[in-house]
Structure 1
Amino acid sequence: MTFNMDSIAKKLWLTITAAIVVTIIYSYFLSYLFYEKLYVENVEENLLEEGHRLAAEYEGGPLTDELKDRIDWYSSKSETEIFIVSNPRELSACLPFDIDYETLISGTEREKLLKGKPVQKIGYEERFDRKIMAVVIPLLDENRLEGIIYLYIPLAKISEVMTDFAYLWMIAGILFLVIAIFTGTMLVRKLTKPLIDMKDAAEKVSLGDYSVKITNDSMDEIGQLAQAFNHMASSIQKEDERKKEFLANVSHELRTPISYIKGYSDALHTGIIKEEDQSKYLSLIHREAGRMERLVGDLLDLSKLDSNEFKIEKTPLPLGQLIEDSVQKYILKMREKEIEFNYEVDPDIIINGDAGRIEQVLQNILDNSIRYTDKGRITLKMFKTYSGCSIEITDTGVGIPAEDMDKIKQRFFRVNRARTRKDGGTGLGLAIAEKLISLHGGTLNIDSQLGKGTMVQINLPVLDI
């Protein structure tokens, strides 16, 4: 398994390996200390027990040769070096080398022996020239020290046991390290594979390939991250498609008026149009320029709404009065199209809103109703509801096909493209209206039947006064 120097896989692998090594070393020293302590304590207890058992053979009075022979025989059978002497100063006579008694048993230790307490020793003994563990058992007869039993074992034997322990532990530690590193490597590979897949997928997404998907069925944080990445890729794909469609629609919408303006202006510039027809062509140019102006204005509004830079100035607003002022602008136009218009509003309803933006919404909806209604009827009602207030604008126009209802509020969507261009619509009115109503904390709903008409419902919160 290869690692990049800065890869998370390498960092995880090194972390796991370091943790394993530190754990093994710490466990070794801790186990060694406990094992040595327990082993030494056990040896010391055995020496004391052995010494007391031998001392039980003493029945008082001067030490007999029979007792000495029994202890010498026992020493020859035991791994422990054992000596018995009538006078501790005679101890050197039992050893294969000369020793100074005063350096072997100190005055303090002699006092302890006189009290019937054993003396325990461990460490380097200069006179033996070795490290030993020793126990001295007093043999008392009515507070008189008749002799001692001296038991000792070289610490070299204990070290040999510790060395064997260290070798066994080292072998077990190396074996554990190999298994742990192998297991850790597999674990690191399993943990980092989804991250590597996500990195590769992110690079593909950055190049425009949004079809890439990460398969990870785990429910942990990495699985959740994979699901979030897939959702993000789908969202980016949809947004990219929406932007492409938006640009295509803008290009399409601008192409027609620009071509009209260029064609008519070229005709006027070259003089091929008769003087009496020039006014007509100038009017056409003016109309197409107005369409472009409205389109650019709507695009700017949508851009601000999408970027959250759009600000509305909310004030307490008598909604009934605003509606009456807005519909007055359309009375003449509805008469020209022989449209019957009725409206009924509740004058007591007050909302917290931006008058200019609410009027813009009403204009967008009324423009559509008038555009798609000929010799019909438009009705506007505004009334209080349980959760606020509702504005309903109903017409008896051509209606909207059922298959277009889900797309009616999409940008640039038109039920009748040819007719809308003729009448000057941009296809952005409902998209802008819905966003403006949303900024006021309300909702915009549309219900329509083909050939029967359309009803637009605006729901807004009201101020409690």
Structure 2
Amino acid sequence: MKKYSIFFTINIIFLISLLLISVSFALLYGVNKQKEKHFNYKRDIEITKIFMHQYRESSVSDELLEYMKNLGFSVILDAGEIENILTSKKLKSREFKSNRAFKIRYLELGENRYIFVQTPREKIILTSHSISSDGKNIILIAYAVIFLIFILLYLSIINKLKPLKILQESVKKFGNENFDLECMTSNKDEISQLANEFHKAAQKLKKLQESRNVFIRNIMHELKTPITKGNFLTRLPQTEENVESMQKVFYRLESLIKEFASIEELISTKKELEKKSYFLEDIIDNAMDILMCEEDSVAKEFENIKIDVDFTLFSIAVKNLLDNGIKYSKDKKVVVKADKNMLVFESIGQKLSYELQNYFEPFFKGDNSTSAQSFGLGLYIVKHVLDAHSLHLKYEYKNGVNKFIIELDF
């Protein structure tokens, strides 16, 4: 982790803070322990004085032993046990009272505390049972709670900053014109919102780039036919018929330019549709004019119903369906059928090699397609046009006939 990283700085801050909190609690615990030790020492001294007063009157009687037990002290009279304690190498000793008759020392052996009493008659050791206050437990519990809260806070902050790392990698990809970014998050904080907005912007640019690719490839594909025809007509004598054919070529080129603009606008932005009620035959005829196909290539087997569509865009979708049907059918013909519920394009040919959804991807071509015939954009454009109209395209294959069906849900 780089030292100038935000994550490095946060880790250092949390580490130092945690260290300071731990040291503070350790000092507080130590102070509390010293207070408790001092309290027990004072208590031991006072109870030893009571013991000595009672001992002078009745020596070590059963009543005195019971009394000391009630005060939290045990009385050791066994000489061997006393000798073991006194000869221990880890024993700490300090004398706090002595005279000619008595000698009293305060002993510490590990966590155990003893009071050694030397009398003219015998040796006695009082074992002190510590009285532990709740202070240390409260300090430990408080430290555990604060430590847990601190860790949870740290994890929460790191989790909220995670989108920054993802966003950093996404920006690198973005700089290389790779718009396939995954920086979306369900969090609601400002960093997450920034990552989400960046993701949305990248998706818009991806769509725009995609539309540009479609636009360019569609131009290359669609302009090929009229340019070829125009080039051929320039070599023929300038008869009235040839001039008329040349005018049709220029009309076709003009129509293509308008079509390209509509497609580019539809794919790259949310185009507002200009929907009106049009006769289906007018739409089919317009699509045939754009396609520049022969009249006998399209058989119209429908009543001339009216449908509410954007005339220009829907004509483009119909043109692509007619083009696919003519291009890939065995007899180079398409039959158009319709009723109030559906518009059907039928052609005799091979069944699609893949599921229909695959052909909705740009530049996808099936096994029965060649690069010279198609750029794999026809159904991609159809899908976008129908989506804009909230319509759906279905595919069926029966008895050697391909059927592309637009469900007219008006």
TM-score by length of 2: 0.51
Work out the number of aligned pairs and report it: 295
Q: Is the 8 A contact 1:445 1:456 kept in 2?
A: yes
CA shift for structure 1 position 395: 2.4
Following superposition, the deviation at residue 356 of structure 1 comes to 3.1
What corresponds to 1:311 in structure 2? Answer: 272
Aligned to 1:439: 388
CA shift digits 1:184-231 (9 cap, x unpaired): xxxxxxxx9999899578646734689999xxxxxxxxxxxxxx9xx9
Alignment of 1:425-436 (within 5 A): 430-436=379-385
Which runs of structure 2 are paired with 1:56-455 in the superposition (5 Å)?
Answer: 56-57=54-55, 72-73=99-100, 76-79=103-106, 203=172, 206-207=175-176, 246=214, 249-250=217-218, 252-253=220-221, 256=224, 276-277=237-238, 282-283=243-244, 285-312=246-273, 322-323=279-280, 326=283, 336-337=295-296, 340-343=299-302, 354=309, 356=311, 359-360=314-315, 363-364=318-319, 367-368=322-323, 371=326, 378-383=335-340, 390-398=341-349, 402=353, 408-409=359-360, 415=369, 430-448=379-397, 452-455=400-403
Tell whether 2:20 aligns with 1:52. no
* Structure 2 counterpart of 1:28, from 26, 29, 35: 26
Q: Give the match for residue 39 of structure 2.
A: 41
The 1:339–1:407 alpha-carbon spacing in structure 2 relative to 1, beyond 3 Å, is same
**Which residue number corresponds to residue 164 of structure 1?**
none
Q: Do 2:211 and 2:267's aligned partners in 1 also have CA atoms closer than 8 Å?
A: no
Q: Is the 8 A contact 1:360 1:433 kept in 2?
A: no
Change (3 A) 1:205 1:295: same
Shift in alpha-carbon separation, 1:296–1:329, aligned structure 2, 3 A: closer
Kindly state the Cα deviation for residue 416 of structure 1 after the two structures are TM-superposed.
6.9
Deviation at 1:405, TM superposition (A): 6.0
Take 1:252 and 1:331, find their aligned partners in 2: how far apart are those partners? 20
Structure 1 residue 30: deviation in Å?
A: 1.7
Q: For residues 25-50 of structure 1, what are the alpha-carbon distances to aligned partners after superposition, in whole Å with 9 as ceiling and x for unaligned?
A: 21222212221221122112112212
Farther off after superposition, 240-249 or 288-297: 240-249
Contact 1:341/1:378 (8 A) holds in 2:
yes
* C-alpha separation in 2, matches of 1:444 and 1:248: 25
Q: 1:42 to 1:26 in 2, by over 3 A?
A: same
Check the 8 A contact 2:325/2:347 in 1, yes or no.
Answer: no
1:461–1:41 CA distance, 2 compared to 1 (3 A): farther
Two-structure CA RMSD over aligned residues (Å): 5.7
The structure-2 alpha-carbon separation of the partners of 1:75 and 1:281, relative to structure 1 and needing over 3 Å to count, comes to: farther
Larger deviation, residues 400-409 vs 282-291: 400-409
SS of equivalent residue, structure 1 residue 305: helix
On the 8 A contact 1:447/1:456 being kept in 2, the answer is yes
Give the drift of 1:255.
Answer: 6.8
Larger Rg computed on CA atoms: 1
**Residues 165-186 of structure 1: per-residue CA shift (max 9 Å, x gap):** xxxxxxxxxxxxxxxxxxxxxx
Deviations along 1:316-347, one digit per CA (max 9) or x if unpaired, are: x7xxx8446645779999994186532269x8
Higher RCO structure, 1 or 2 (CA under 8 Å, sep 6+): 1
TM-score by length of 1: 0.46
Q: Distance in 1 between matches of 2:317 and 2:167?
A: 48
The secondary structure found in structure 2 opposite 1:337 is helix
Unaligned 5+ segments in structure 2 are 58-96, 108-160, 183-195
Q: How does 1:9-28 map to 2 (within 5 A)?
A: 9-28=7-26
Amino acid at match of 2:323: N
**Aligned-residue offset at 1:382:** 2.8
Report the Cα offset of residue 57 of structure 1.
Answer: 4.9
Decide whether aligned partners of structure 1 residues 3 and 430 sit closer, same or farther in structure 2, where only a CA change above 3 A counts.
Answer: closer
Distance of aligned partners of 1:74 and 1:22 in 2 relative to their CA distance in 1, 3 Å threshold: farther
Q: Report if the CA contact (8 A) 2:392-2:406 is conserved.
A: yes
Partners of 2:302 and 2:337 within 8 A in 1: yes
Q: What fraction of aligned residue pairs are identical, expressed as a percent?
A: 13
For structure 1, list consecutive stretches of 5 or more residues without a partner in the other structure: 60-69, 81-191, 214-227, 268-272, 384-389, 421-425
Residues 412 and 286 (structure 1 numbering): CA distance in 2 closer, same or farther, change over 3 Å? farther
**Partner Cα separation in structure 1 for residue 385 and residue 180 of structure 2:** 34
Query: What CA distance in whole angstroms lies between the structure 2 residues aligned with 1:206 and 1:257?
Result: 38
Deviation digits for residues 344-374 of structure 1 (CA, Å, limit 9, x no counterpart): 69x8xx99x5453685367436643774575
* Structure 1 SS opposite 2:273: coil
Aligned partners of 1:446 and 1:454 also within 8 Å: yes
| 1:260/1:381 CA distance change after superposition, 3 Å | closer
